[in-house]
Structure 1
Amino acid sequence: MISKEFFKALEQVAEDRGVSKDKILDIFGKGLLNAYKKDFNGQQNAKVVFNEEKAEILIVATYLVVDTIDPEAEKGTQITVEEAQELKKNARIGDIIEVKVTPKDFGRIAASSAKQILTQGLKQLERERNFEIFSEKVGEMVIAEVVAMNNEFVTLFLGYETETSIPAKDLLESDLVIGNHVRVYITKVEQTTKGPKVYVSRTDRNLVKRLMENAIPELQEGIVEIMGLARDPGDRCKVCVASNNPKVDPLGACLGRNGVRIKEVIDLLNGEKIDIYKWSDDPKELVSNAIQPAKSIAVIVDPKDKTAIAIVPDDQLSLAIGKKGQNARLAVQSSGWKIDIKSETDALVQDIHY
């Protein structure tokens, strides 16, 4: 069958659906073979040949020439020598006879079946493509559109015919408007029969990292690096940063003039506080920086166990520990050191020398 229209349409379908021509041809070929089986009593002896240069589609049925049909042989795979010689005069037993079958000759039901298989196959290809796209975005921040909501959950459109949901409490009140765009972090993607199931978060600590990278060019370029990050979602975050360029101050780069850069991130996190401190190869300095805004008098470290005792003025003990131990906990998580914070008086009572 010659069909220039088919191959022209193939190009357009491949472009519109975002899938390769080879995959579409594979699906269409399966549809044609299914149609062939319906019209030829379930015979399994055919293959589909696409010749794009000649705009030709062929179904080729293959038969083994035999003296007598073996009743246990696969249906439609054998042909008697008498039948074969009607197709090819010099056919002999043991020869392989190929017969071209024209798709135009298929019945209406068979042709409809081929079309259905193509449609279903294209949908499956799109689902697989979408799964691959979102799998590559795991660990990345994306922008999603608010398309529906109720009292508990918000439905987000991620693109590529894919939606997901997120707790309404995780979004800003100003975000809770149909059509608004919000930034979310993709944590996991699963394949389902209906397409990819994409899990997103606004509370994952890595969302802060991606938001900072988006707002701070030096982070994007690798001049400044985030060495540690800890977060109590919606309340406070502590970030440890370092500079790979001695001429660039990592704190200044992250804060921006008058704090404009970090304010952009804070606003996107609904006012969540962000403490930024400087990384140091010196454990004492690192621990001292980590417990800021409190000032340390001294730091005693045990590099082997990666533990430290930070001694602070009596009037800064509560500041160093923080409400419900938050500052100390975030300092430990972001620095990677186990830190025991003590007041100056406690250090004297416990005979801690520094």
Structure 2
Amino acid sequence: MAVSANRLELLQIADAVAREKVIDRGIVLAAMEDAIAKAARSRYGAETDIHAEINPRTGELRLARHLLVVDDVENSSTQIGLVQARRHNPAAQIGDVISDTLPPFDFGRIAAQSAKQVIVQKVREAERDRQYEEFKDRIGQIVNGVVKRAEYGNVIVDLGRGEAIVRRDELIPRETFRPGDRIRAYVYDVRRETRGPQIFLSRTHPQFMAKLFAQEVPEIYDGIVEIKAVARDPGSRAKIAVISRDSSIDPVGACVGMRGSRVQAVVGELQGEKIDIIPWSVDNATFIVNALQPAEVVKVVLDEDSERIEVVVPDEQLSLAIGRRGQNVRLASQLTGWDIDILTEAEESERRQKEFIERTNTFMEQLDVDEVVGQLLASEGFRSVEEIAFVEPSELATIEGFDDDTAAEIQARAQDYLARVEAELDSRRQELGVSDELREIDGVTTAMLVAFGENDIKTIEDLAGCATDELAGWTERKGQETTKHKGILDDLEVSKAEAEAMIMSARVRMGWIDASALEPAAEEAEDGEETEATETEEAEATEAEAVEADAEPQAEGTEAPAQGR
């Protein structure tokens, strides 16, 4: 059958639109079919169920009206009687749909305009879906584009097959772009919105720098050198922690490149941002010391429960460790995930002296001893009366000036003091009306019972209804600020794991959960600890072999600290 010019033209239009919008040809033909069916309904009636079909090979158009076969016809536009239906199809049954072919007709101006709007809308929706599906899989990648225009500080970027936006706060400070400039940026979000997919780019995202290094350093691209953490103060300074999986390759040197060529390429893209390349370490203390370079660290004290660390530096190194406007310590904190407190040697000595005096006074008051004995106990490292009460007597007797009788007397006084405190706490617990059953929960002490009572936790059911954060507290981080929210047992130094164990034990006693359900979780936790320990040992071995030499000299404007201590 010969194909008419009109039919050929229909297919040519579909092909042209599909190529221009980079969408499937079938989607364009389906949009045309919907448009023609809508135009036909304007002629045959809005209630009529009309379907249009375009042959994708010949371009032939077929219009048909679908009618539902029923016993009693109520609406002749959409229904047909069984007798009449069997004239079209002798096998028709109630509930079948009969297709009644309609003759072709000429579109009027209004019908043609309506059809055009339908086609445009369908094609636009298909184009948006194509853009979203294409770019949602590119989140986390670097894209290249051309600046189209700048609006209120935001930069609109043409990516070839879509438009993206770099918001003002995602641009490096003092960075300007003009229409026609080429731009590289990191795709950090793609959202499907009514006005089309919105592609958000960033040049300040920490991963933008990590991806730039992956492009410049073959060892990172191949997975031999891994970027473990990145922290940035966009346009000013950044820190990046790296580790090598091959003992023969120095991770810092690989990132720096010959005479700083590799790192300089990244610095140039980031508008001169200085970059400290730091060897990552599985040991938190070593990693934090490395992160604070170029400052020298004398001593570190870690508090793993609250993820805080105290760093002691020489007096003349304080400003270097803190950095301009706190930049160095802030980036080190972001890089390691720990809150870092920096003290000078003089401040740390003063604080230790203050703690020594406080402990001495505590021992003098609670054990009824003179100042010399209190100082001896404090200088031996005892921090509380509990430590003295339950230490081996022989350990006390080894203190200079103490004998067995003196040690026994001091330990007896410590135990008497604790007994008095315990009696007072138990009396307070009874006044608050705290149930004796709570004593049966593993890990619960009398001091905890008092704290429970002061916070209206008086029965096992009350404890079972608590959340872990209520007991142990929680940390909330907003931007650069970290807020510590105290829990009911915060002053008693109870960890989250201990608090959770108490709550789960109470829930088992209440019958809310089955005790057997807790056993697999405990076994998984033990297996996880063993696996983590094995991985830690392997990482330490790799790091010990890999981190042997200082980084190669760098070009001006870039800082690469020496290897870890």
Q: Same fold (TM over 0.5)?
A: yes
- Inter-partner Cα distance in structure 2 for 1:10 and 1:105: 21
Query: Do residues 107 (structure 1) and 107 (structure 2) align?
Result: yes
Distance 1:252 1:190, change over 3 A: same
In structure 2, relative to structure 1, the CA distance for the partners of 1:219 and 1:92 (3 Å cut) is: closer
Q: Secondary structure at the match of 2:247?
A: coil
Amino acid at match of 2:217: I
Alignment of 1:328-343 (within 5 A): 328-343=329-344
- Pair 275,79 (structure 1): closer, same or farther in 2 beyond 3 Å: same
In structure 1, the residue matched to 2:424 is: none
Q: Which amino acid aligns with 1:315?
A: E
CA RMSD of aligned residues (A): 3.4
CA–CA distance in 2 between the matches of 1:93 and 1:239? 73
Amino acid at match of 1:44: T
Matched residues in 1 for 2:147 and 2:169: separation?
Answer: 11
Answer yes or no: is the 8 Å Cα contact 1:175–1:181 preserved in 2: no
Identity %, equivalent residues: 32
Q: Which amino acid aligns with 2:108?
A: R
Tell me which residue corresponds to 1:255. 256
* Shift of residue 117, structure 1, vs aligned partner: 1.4
For 2:209 and 2:327, locate their aligned partners in 1 and report how far apart those are by CA, in whole Å. 18
Matches within 5 A, 1:169-318: 170=171, 176-318=177-319
**Residues 257, 175 of structure 1: alpha-carbon distance in 2 compared, 3 angstrom cutoff:** farther
Which piece of structure 1 moves more, 5-14 or 89-98? 89-98
2:145 aligned partner: 144
Q: Which moved more, 1:304-313 or 1:229-238?
A: 304-313
Map Cα deviations across residues 126-146 of structure 1 (whole Å, 9 max, x no partner).
122223333333333222312
Question: Following TM superposition, by how much is the alpha carbon of 1:263 offset from its aligned partner in structure 2, in angstroms?
Answer: 1.1
Distance of 1:281 and 1:214 partners within structure 2 = 26
* Other structure's SS at 1:118 match: helix
- Further displaced range: 317-326 or 136-145: 136-145
Rounded to whole Å, the distance in 2 between the matches of 1:143 and 1:337 is 35
Give the partner amino acid of 2:161.
Y
Q: Which residue among 25, 33, 37 is the counterpart of 1:33?
A: 37
For the residues of structure 1 that align with 2:276 and 2:200, how far apart are their CA atoms?
28
State the Cα distance separating 1:90 from its structure 2 match.
6.9
Q: What does 1:68-147 correspond to in 2, within 5 Å?
A: 69-70=73-74, 73=75, 76-79=77-80, 88=88, 97-102=98-103, 104-109=104-109, 110-147=111-148
| Structure 1 or 2: more strand by fraction | 1
For the residues of structure 1 that align with 2:58 and 2:170, how far apart are their CA atoms? Answer: 60
Map Cα deviations across residues 82-105 of structure 1 (whole Å, 9 max, x no partner).
Answer: 9769x7597999686432225x42
Q: Distance in 2 between matches of 1:335 and 1:240?
A: 9
Q: TM-score, normalised by structure 2?
A: 0.55
User: Structure 1 119/221 Cα, relative in aligned 2: closer, same or farther at 3 Å?
Assistant: same
User: For 1:284 and 1:174, how far apart are their aligned partners in 2?
Assistant: 37
Whether the 8 Å contact between 2:66 and 2:97 is mirrored in structure 1 is: yes
Q: How far apart are 1:20 and its partner, in Å?
A: 2.2
Letter matched to residue 244 of structure 1:
R
1:45 maps to which residue?
Answer: 49
TM-aligned CA deviation for residue 169 of structure 1: 10
Provide Cα deviations, 1:123-167, integer angstroms capped at 9, x if missing partner.
221122223333333333222312334784444323324253543
1:27 partner letter: A
- For residues 71 and 28 of structure 2, the distance between their equivalents in structure 1, rounded to whole angstroms, comes to 40
SS of residue paired to 1:350: helix
Distance 2:200 2:281 in 1: 35
Q: CA deviation at 1:51?
A: 4.1
Look up the match of 1:157.
158
Kept in 2: contact 1:224–1:244 (CA 8 A):
yes
- CA–CA separation in structure 2 for the residues paired with 1:7 and 1:31: 15
What secondary structure is seen at the aligned counterpart in 1 of 2:27? helix
Output the CA distance in 1 between the equivalents of 2:332 and 2:325.
13
Q: 1:92 to 1:117 in 2, by over 3 A?
A: closer
> Secondary structure, in 3 states, of the residue corresponding to 2:122?
helix
AA aligned to 1:317 is L
Q: Is the 8 A contact 1:175 1:182 kept in 2?
A: no
CA contact (8 A) 2:172 2:204 kept: no
Q: 1:311 to 1:165 in 2, by over 3 A?
A: closer
**Over residues 284-303 of structure 1, what are the superposed CA-to-partner deviations in whole Å (9 max), with x where a residue is unaligned?**
21111011011222333344
Instruction: Quote the offset at 1:272 in angstroms.
Output: 1.3
Q: Classify the secondary structure of the residue corresponding to 1:319.
A: helix
- 2:140 counterpart letter in structure 1: G
Taking structure 1 as reference, are residues 46 and 310 closer, same or farther at Cα in structure 2, changes over 3 Å only? same
Change (3 A) 1:299 1:99: same
Return the structure number with greater helix share.
2
Shift of 1:5: 4.9
Structure 2: stretches of 5+ with no match in the other structure: 354-378, 380-565
Q: Structure 1 residue 260: deviation in Å?
A: 1.1
**TM-score when normalising by structure 1:** 0.83
Question: Deviation at 1:171?
Answer: 5.4
Count of residue pairs brought into register by the alignment: 348
On the 8 A contact 1:236/1:272 being kept in 2, the answer is yes
Whole-Å separation in 1 of the counterparts to 2:301 and 2:70: 92
Change (3 A) 1:82 1:320: closer
2:461 aligns to what?
none
Q: Which amino acid aligns with 1:107?
A: F
